Amino acid sequence: MSEHLTVVDHPLVQHKLTLMRRKETATSVFRQLLREISLLLAYEVTRELELTTERIETPLEPMDAPVLMGKKLALVSILRAGNGLLDGILELIPQARVGFVGLYRDEATLKPVQYYFKVPEALDERVTIVVDPMLATGNSSVAAVDLLKKAGARNIRFLCLLAAPEGVARMKEAHPDVPIVTASVDSRLNEKGYIVPGLGDAGDRMYGTK
Ligand code: URA
């Protein structure tokens, strides 16, 4: 992708995002909206995938028809909130290979620490799409991309629902080669690292754990 940051301003995305932001939106509705929005965001993040052609026969005649080139995509979810975006994208790209990165924040150093890492093989030959609904400080996103690069990934994109300017800047500094696709860049982070105005804790809202 050519742009470092793409904000998907499609009216359906923006409308659904507003419904998700509302504090009275129920868990079940929040999850359903996230699933719907993830399909639309997946459309955007895969826009520049390379195509080749395959000889096929329609009922009328043979043709060279477009098909995706190369190995199957790798989708990598940053646990746990990434799974909400992942589920919708997998409906659109069911053949994708899936990985998971688990990180927690060490309260002493405030640095992300890895507790789980399982990714598809041959990452160097795949387009890798990292998914996490909230790009806040950027600490876990940068750490996840660091790990994926160590595992061989070369062609990485980052998909989120909301981003803070701080997180976008941190990703750009650490990983300028990783384009970001989001539905909104909100105004700021608060002192607890939440995106403002945001939508709260995405994992809690998705799974009803608050
Ligand atoms: N993670 C969330 O779930 N929400 C935020 O606002 C920031 C990080």
Q: Which ligand 1 atom is at minimum distance from the Cα of 205?
A: 3
What stretch of H or E contains 171?
helix 165-174
Instruction: Classify the C-alpha dihedral 118-123-128-134 as positive or negative.
Output: positive
Q: Give nearest CA residue, ligand 1 atom 4.
A: 201
Where along the chain do its domains lie? Answer: 5-207
pTM of the model: 0.94
- Tell me: domain 5-207, CATH 2.40.70.10, correct? no
From 35, 201, 205, 209, the catalytic residue = 201
pLDDT tens per residue, range 71-92: 899 999 999 999 999 999 999 9
96-152 pLDDT per residue, tens: 999 999 998 777 776 789 999 999 999 999 999 999 999 999 999 999 999 999 999
CA distances for 168 relative to 97, 147, 196, angstroms: 26, 18, 14
Ligand 1 proximity of 164 Cβ (cutoff 6 Å): no
Give me the catalytic one of 21, 35, 80, 105. Answer: 105
Closest approach atom of ligand 1 to CA 193: 7
